[in-house]
Amino acid sequence: MSEEVIELLANYQGEFDSLALATIIESSGSTPRKAGAKMVVFPDGRSEGTIGGGCGEAEIRQQALSLLSKEGGPVLYTLDMTNDVAAAEGMICGGKMEVFIERIAFNN
């Protein structure tokens, strides 16, 4: 369940005024987590929740950090774990997933 992440966002009163939220919106083939799975990325690189771990998650974390580091809207990111690179990196899930990454601002 992504309830822990919802709880974190709802109750967040920490030092940062915005966090990035990554949500799997669609997955096909064999992926570790399904639509709705969520991860929050903090500007300092920490994260909470998981969208599947491994290289895929690391890639999304990078995208999330780059979103936080500049102005700009949410992005849709497609992660393809079916290609050769994935195989070379040892990602054997062999699926594809689409991830929505957005900035959640805390202006209170």
Give the whole-angstrom CA distance, residue 97 versus residue 24.
Answer: 7
CB of 87 to another protein, least distance (A): 27
Residue closer to another protein (CB basis): 24 or 91? 24
Of 58, 87, 92, 105, the one binding another protein by CB under 8 A: 105
Of 16, 34, 83, 85, the one binding another protein by CB under 8 A: 34
**Within 61-100, which residues bind another protein (CB under 8 A)?**
73-74, 76, 98, 100
Give the whole-angstrom CA distance, residue 51 versus residue 57.
Answer: 6
Helix (H, G, I), strand (E, B) or coil at 66: helix
Residue span binding another protein (CB under 8 A) among the ranges 23-31, 42-50, 57-65, 88-96: 23-31
> Which residues, 6+ apart, have CB-to-CB distance to 43 below 8 Å?
16, 18, 19, 65, 68, 69
CB of 103 to another protein, least distance (A): 8
The kind and range of the H/E element at 9 are: helix 3-11
Give the whole-angstrom CA distance, residue 37 versus residue 100.
Answer: 11
CB of 84 to another protein, least distance (A): 27
Residue 3 binding another protein, by CB under 8 A: yes
